[in-house]
Amino acid sequence: MARKHFEEHEVIERGLSAAVSSLESHVRSAEQKHAEARAWSEDVLKEQKSNIQGWEADFSRLDALPANSEFIQFVQPRASTPRKDTKKAVGVTLKAFVSAEDVKNAATMAQKISTKF
User: In a 10 Å sphere around its CB, with 0-12 CB exposed, 13-18 middle and 19+ buried, how is residue 114 labelled?
Assistant: middle
pTM beyond 0.75, yes or no = no
Separation of alpha carbons 97 and 77, rounded Å: 13
Report helix angle 2-53 to 100-116, nearest 10. Answer: 150
Write the pLDDT tens digit of every residue in 57-101: 999 999 999 998 888 888 876 545 444 454 455 679 999 999 999
CB atoms < 10 A from the CB of 86, how many?
A: 20
Taking only the tens place, the pLDDT of each residue in 3-23 is 888 999 999 999 999 999 999
